Amino acid sequence: MSAPTLDNDTGWFTEICTKGGSAFSLRVHARLHAEQTPYQHIEIWDTTEFGKLMTIDGFVMLTGRDNFLYHEMMSHPALFTHPDPKRVVIIGGGDCGTLKEVLKHPGVEHALQVDIDERVTRLSEQYFPELCESNQDPRAELYFGDGIQWMKEASPGSVDLVIVDSTDPIGPAEGLFSEAFYRDVYRALGNNGLVVQQSESPLLHYENIIRPMHKAMREAGFADSVSLQFPQPVYPSGWWTATLAGKRQVTVFRDADALAKPFVTRYYNAAIHRGALAQPEFFLRGQPD
């Protein structure tokens, strides 16, 4: 995976992606906060060009400048693919950015965010308040606990959309990428149910993460799956995916509704949605380049 470094002489935070043979750096003014929770080490940095930066166990989680790319693509494509999403569960997503995007949809009646570490949310409220603007929405519910266990106990057919907004598949998040977890998700979803999960970089993780995810989702019962692509500058390679799976076809969406969306986005629109569905040749061949 990756390892962080901080050059105190030049003021650059660097995350090294050892397997990818690459690194990404952000120039920082100062470290604003650091703490070890029962689950992970969280740091908040003040960067010169990317706003606030949150890292967890030394890995970049989000910045104030470009998080909209990730949060919009983790939410709006799935919400416009489901015919009528009312009940949404977000597993992870403690920074609340995905929750904010979900609640832009007036048809959503309830959005539950399940994150194991409450400190991610509380620090986001302090340092990323723009992401937490919808936390007091009466449709929002914050629950701090184990998302895997929550999904095991969810009532069958009780959810329309599950969004798995997790960290990399290591540590507490590893079980969120398993067939057993997808079976629990499948059972909790209604007839038109969908799940969307962040699925790392196509360039670096196709063979060991993305391809196995599709296999596990299909074996768990999902009829269709596709990996949506989008830029994400602060993550390794700058090229990211969210993998969408459904009990029915997921490559057709409510494009007229997306065109007429009653809310503002910075990246997502109907044309972006269509483009994100296009698959690279090596995806279609089922093997890396």
Over 50: is that where the pLDDT of 289 sits?
no
pLDDT at 254: 98
237: pLDDT confidence band, cut at 50, 70 and 90?
very high
pLDDT at 189: 98
Averaged pLDDT for residues 191-207: 95
Tell which residue, 77, 11, 31, 55, has the closest CA to residue 275. 77
Over 50: is that where the pLDDT of 43 sits?
yes
**Per the residue annotation, which of 95, 115, 117, 165 is the catalytic one?**
165
Distance, first Cα to last Cα, the chain: 20
Helices (H) then strands (E): counts for the chain? 10, 13
CA distances (Å), origin 43, targets 13, 46, 176? 12, 10, 23
pLDDT at 274: 98
Q: pTM above 0.75?
A: yes
Tell which residue, 119, 140, 139, 121, has the closest CA to residue 129. 121
Read off the pLDDT of residues 268-278 as tens digits, 9 standing for 90 and up. Answer: 999 999 999 99
For the chain, the average pLDDT equals 93
41: helix, coil or strand? strand
Read off the pLDDT of residues 69-126 as tens digits, 9 standing for 90 and up. Answer: 999 999 999 999 999 999 999 999 999 999 999 999 999 999 999 999 999 999 999 9
pLDDT at 1: 45
Sheet holding 2-7, edge to edge: 2-7, 12-17, 22-36, 41-47, 52-56, 59-63
Read off the pLDDT of residues 140-150 as tens digits, 9 standing for 90 and up. Answer: 999 999 999 99
Region of poorest pLDDT, from 33-37, 69-73, 171-175, 270-274: 171-175
Amino acid identity, position 46: D
Domains by residue range for the chain, with CATH: 2-62 (2.30.140.10), 67-285 (3.40.50.150)
The yes-or-no answer on residue 115 being catalytic is no
Kindly state the tokens that stand for 76.
């709006």
5: pLDDT confidence band, cut at 50, 70 and 90?
low
User: Which DSSP category does 175 fall into?
Assistant: G
Over 50: is that where the pLDDT of 288 sits?
no
Averaged pLDDT for residues 263-288: 90
Averaged pLDDT for residues 10-33: 91
